[in-house]
Structure 1
Amino acid sequence: MQLLVTLLLVSCLLLGVPGAQDRAALRRGSDGNGRCQYSFIVDGPLEASCPVHAGAAEVEALKSRMTLLEALVARLAGGEAGTAVRPGLQEAYTKVVEEKSQLQRDKGRLSTQVQELHRRVEDLRQEAERLKSRPCPQAPPPSTPQGDSSLRPGGNPGGPSHLASKPGGQSSSPREPSWHHGNAGYLELKAEVTEVPAPTTEHNTGCGELVAVMEPETHRKADTIAGKYGVWMQDPEAKDPFGPDMVWRINTVGSEVRQLFGYEDLDQLARGFPTKVLLLPEAVESTGAAMYRGSLYYQRRRSRTLIRYELATETVAARRDLPHAGFHGQFPYSWGGYTDIDLAVDEQGLWAIYSTNKAKGAIVVARLDPHSLEVKKTWETNIRKNMVANAFMICGRLYTVASYTLSDTTVNYSFDTATGQGQALSVPFKNRYSYNSMIDYNPDKRRLYAWDNYHMVSYDVRLGRQQRA
C-alpha cells in the first residue's frame, strides 16, 4: 500500500515537470538506518532553447518536492505518524471512558434521588388525604345538657377521638386527637354534632341510636397462631337443628381457611369443646363472615363472590358476585387482613360493608336479600374505609370504630340509611387486648362480638331514642 502511494506521488511529480520523462531518472537506496531513499537525476539545460534561469527554477522546485516526498515516505515507512498519533488517541479514549463512567454514576445517583422524590410525593399525598378526612375544629355547644358527659360527642373523659389512626393503627399520642370537620366536599357532616341522649335505667328493647358500649367480657383465648385473627358469632334467627345459643367460630389465619367450629353454648366455647366441625366447600376470605337464619354468609377467597352456606344441609344454597366491590386488599379496614367485604346482621336484615373504585375508597353499604344475595339498595357514605378500624350495623345504621390497637378508642361515626345522613360520634370503646380484627352485632342478644388479639370478647350495648334529622 505504501509503495502504491509512493508511485502515485512520483507520477504526479513527473507529470508536473515538462519533458521530465525524457531527462529524469529515479533511484532508490538505503540510508543505513533501515529507511528507503529516493533520488532523481535530471539532465542540465544544454540546449539554447532552455534558459539557464528557467532550468534552475525547475530543478529547485523538483528538489523541494523530492524533500517533501522523502519526508512523507520516511514517515510512512518508519511508523512515525502512528507513533505520534496513537498516544493522543489513547489519551482521548481514556478520557471518554472516564467521562462515561462518571455519567453512569451520576445517572445512578439521579435515579436514586428520583425514587426518593417519588416516595416523598406519595407520602405527602397520603398525608394530604388524611388531613382532608379530618373535620375542622368546632366551638363547644353553648349549653351542656345534664347527664353522663362520657356519652356525648367529644365528652370522652379519656380524651376525644379521631376519625382515623395512623397507618398500622398507631396514634401520635396516647389519646386520640379530636375529630375535626375537614373537606366539606368529601366529609359532608353537619356543623353541629348532634347530641345523643344518655342511656336510661330501663332496658330499651326497641331500635335506637348507639349511646354506650359496655366493658368487654372475655370468653376464650385461641390456642394457636391460627387464632390470632378470626370471627365468632351466634345466629340471631337460628333454625333447626341448631338453636340460638349455638356459637360458631372460624380461625382465619392461613392460606386455605375452611373449618367452621360449632359449640353448644358459651360455656362449651370457654372449655374449647366443639360439638360440630364443618368443612366449607370453598375457602373463606378474612373476618367478614356472618351467621343468619340458619346459614353462614361469607366471602370466597380472592374474589368478590358471596356464598350462602346452609348449615342444615351442609351445602351452598346461593352464590353471587357483589357488583364492583373491591377485594383482596383493595379497600380493607385500617388493620388490613383483606377485610374488603364485611357482612353484617342487624334488626333489619343482612348487609354488606365494602367500597368500590367509583366510591374512591369511601364506605358503601348494601342491603342484601338473605335468600338470593341480590343487592336491594346501596348507600355511599362520606368516610373512607381504610381510615377506620372496623364497622358494624345496628338498626339500619352504620357505625365505625376509630382504632384497632388503642386501648381507649371510640365509635366515631354513624351513617343512617333511612335519611342518608352521617354524623360524628364519640362513644367510648375499649380494645382490651390491643389488636381488634373483627366486630359484629347480634340483634337478638343486643351485643357486639369481637376478636381481639387471640381473644373472643363481647360487649353489651345501650341504645337511646331514635333521632331523625
Structure 2
Amino acid sequence: MFLLLSMCLLGLLAPRGDAQDRAALWRGNDRSGRCQYTFTVASPAEASCPHAGGPEVEGIKTRLTLLEALVSKLTGEEAGASSADAGGRLREALNRAVGERNLLQGEKERLQREMGSLQRRLEEMLRETERLRSRPCPLQTPAVPDGGLMRPAGGSNPMSHLMARPNRLGDGSNLRDSVWQQGFQEVKAEVTEVPAPEQYTGCGVLVSVSEPVTHRKADSIAGKYGIWMQDSEAAAPYGSSMVWRIDTVGSDVRQLFGYEDMEQLSKGYPTKVVLLPEPLEGTGAVLYRGSLYYQRRRSRTLIRFDLASESVAARRDLPHAGFHGQFPYAWGGYTDIDLAVDERGLWAIYSTSKAKGAVVLSQLDPHDLRVTKSWETNIRKNGVANAFLVCGRLYTVASYGAANTTINYMYDTESSRGRPLAVPFKNKYGYNSMIDYNPAQKKLFAWDNFHMVSYDLRLGRPPAEA
C-alpha cells in the first residue's frame, strides 16, 4: 500500500523533475486525530509567491484531490474485501455448527425415545414377574376312573343318591350321564370362538389398523428414508404383484428398483432398474395405472413417468404449492407435496402461502395432472407426521417417532368437514417417513427407519349407511 502511494506521488511530481530532490512528504495526525499525508515542493524559479492561486496551484489541487480519492478507494476496498472474507467464513462455520447441532439433537431425541421404550418394557416385565410370583400354583385334580366323581376321604359320595334316583319319566338309569352331559355343554359353550365381525368391503370409514408387518430392511444409509409401493391398477408390461422401491436419501435421487413380487423383495434382488429422467424430491411418489407420479427436485412441478415406454408422459406445476421445505410434514424431508391414490383416483396433499400452512387437498387428472377440485382443511401440515386417503377421506397420523401414536384427524371431501379421531397406530422402528394406501389390497405401505412395513386396515360402514 505504501509503495503504491509513493509511486502516485512520484507521478504527481514528474512534470517538475528538477525539483524532485527538494520535495518532502510527511504523515501525521491532525488535531482531531485523523491521519493526513502532507508534502511540499520548492519552486525552482520563484523565490516568493507574488499572489495565491493561479493555474499551477489549481493543477496541484486537482492532483491532490485525485490522490486522496485513490487512497480512499484503495483503503476502502482492502478493508471491505477483508470484512467480506471474514463474514463469509463466519457464516460458513455457523451453518456447519447449526447443521451438526440439529443432527445431534435428532440423534439425542431418538436415543431418549429408545431408552424410554426399554424402561417401559423393563417395568412391564418386572410387574409380570411379581404377578407370577404372587399367584398360587393351581391344585392338581387326580383323574377318577370310569368317569366317576371324586369321593370324600370317608369313602361316601354325597351325590351318590342323586346319581341313583330315577328321573321323572320313570327312567331307571342313574343321573351320572345327564350331569356329565350338562358339564360338557357348559365347557363347550366356554371354548366356542366368537366369530370376528364381518369385514366391510365397500368404501367405508377407517375403523382400525393392524400391527405392522415387516417385509425388508434397506441395505445402506441411502435407505433410511424411502418409498415402496405396488400399483393398485397395474398396466402392461408389469402386473399387480410387481413391487417398486426408491431410496430417497441424497441430492440426485433417480433410481427406481423393481421386484417381481414380495418374496423377491424380501430376498433383495431387483429384476428391473429404471433411471428417472429428472431427480425426485421427498417421499410422496405413487404408482397408478402404469405410471410413476412424482415431484421434481426443488420445484412444484409434478411428473408423470410412463413405465412401459420409460419416458415422461406429462408434467405440470401444482398451482401455488410450497416446495423444498416450505410446508413439509413434521419430520421434514422436503415432504411439501405428497401424492396419494385411493378408490377415487389420484390426489395431492400440500399447502400454500394463501392457506398459511393448512393442508390443501386437490384431486388430479391422472392423464395430464390438471387440478379438478380442491379442498382446504383446518389442520396444519407441519403439525402432523404423514397423511393418506381412503375412499375420498383424508387421514393424518399424529407422530412419526412415537411407538404408540394415533390417526388423529379425518377430513371428508363429500361433506367438506373434518373431525378428530383416535385410531391407534404403531411406528415399530421409530421414524416413519412414508405412508401410502393401496386400495386394491386395503393396506397401508410405510417406510419406517430403513424398514419396509405394511398394515392391514379394517373399514366400517359410513355413518349414512350404518
Instruction: Please give the TM-score of this superposition, normalised by the length of structure 2.
Output: 0.58
Note if 1:225 corresponds to 2:221.
Answer: yes
Q: Distance in 1 between matches of 2:384 and 2:239?
A: 34
Residue 444 (structure 2) aligns with: 448
Note if 1:424 corresponds to 2:420.
Answer: yes
Q: Distance in 2 between matches of 1:208 and 1:466?
A: 5
- Residues 294 and 400 of structure 1, relative CA distance in 2, 3 Å threshold: same
Note if 1:382 corresponds to 2:381.
Answer: no
Note if 1:273 corresponds to 2:273.
Answer: no
Paired residue secondary structure (2:309): coil
Match of 2:242 among 240, 246, 271: 246
Alpha-carbon displacement from aligned partner over 1:365-411 (angstroms, at most 9, x marks no partner): 00000001000000000100000000000000000000000000000
Residue 438 (structure 1) aligns with: 434
Alpha-carbon displacement from aligned partner over 1:220-245 (angstroms, at most 9, x marks no partner): 00010000000000000000100001
Q: What letter corresponds to residue 358 of structure 1 in structure 2? A: K
Paired residue secondary structure (2:308): coil
Note if 1:235 corresponds to 2:231.
Answer: yes
What does 1:250-329 correspond to in 2, within 5 Å?
250-329=246-325
Paired residue secondary structure (1:226): helix
Alpha-carbon displacement from aligned partner over 1:125-151 (angstroms, at most 9, x marks no partner): xxxxxxxxxxxxxxxxxxxxxxxxxxx
Identity %: 71
Residue 354 (structure 1) aligns with: 350
Note if 1:210 corresponds to 2:206.
Answer: yes
CA-CA distance at 1:467 after TM superposition: 2.2
Residue 460 (structure 2) aligns with: 464
CA-CA distance at 1:200 after TM superposition: 6.2
Alpha-carbon displacement from aligned partner over 1:403-431 (angstroms, at most 9, x marks no partner): 00000000000000000000000000000
Alpha-carbon displacement from aligned partner over 1:169-218 (angstroms, at most 9, x marks no partner): 999x979xxxxxxxxxxxxxxxxxxxxxxx96212211110010000000
Q: Distance in 1 between matches of 2:461 and 2:198?
A: 12
Alpha-carbon displacement from aligned partner over 1:8-64 (angstroms, at most 9, x marks no partner): xxxxxxxxxxxxxxxxxxxxxxxxxxxxxxxxxxxxxxxxxxxxxxxxxxxxxxxxx
Q: Return 5+ residue gaps in structure 1 as ranges.
A: 1-88, 91-167, 176-198
Note if 1:406 corresponds to 2:409.
Answer: no
Aligned residue pairs, count: 281
Structure ranking higher in helix proportion: 2
Residue 370 (structure 1) aligns with: 366
CA-CA distance at 1:468 after TM superposition: 4.8
Q: Return 5+ residue gaps in structure 2 as ranges.
A: 1-31, 34-108, 118-194
Q: What letter corresponds to residue 254 of structure 1 in structure 2? A: G
CA-CA distance at 1:456 after TM superposition: 0.2
Q: Distance in 1 between matches of 2:293 and 2:429?
A: 27
- Residues 207 and 200 of structure 1, relative CA distance in 2, 3 Å threshold: farther
Q: What letter corresponds to residue 387 of structure 1 in structure 2? A: G
- Residues 393 and 233 of structure 1, relative CA distance in 2, 3 Å threshold: same
Alignment check: 8 A CA contact 2:409 2:420 kept: yes
Alignment check: 8 A CA contact 1:419 1:468 kept: no
Alignment root-mean-square deviation, CA: 2.2
Superposed structure 1 runs of 4+ greater than 2 Å apart: 168-171
Alignment check: 8 A CA contact 1:208 1:467 kept: no
Instruction: Please give the TM-score of this superposition, normalised by the length of structure 1.
Output: 0.58
Paired residue secondary structure (2:278): coil
Q: What letter corresponds to residue 417 of structure 1 in structure 2? A: T
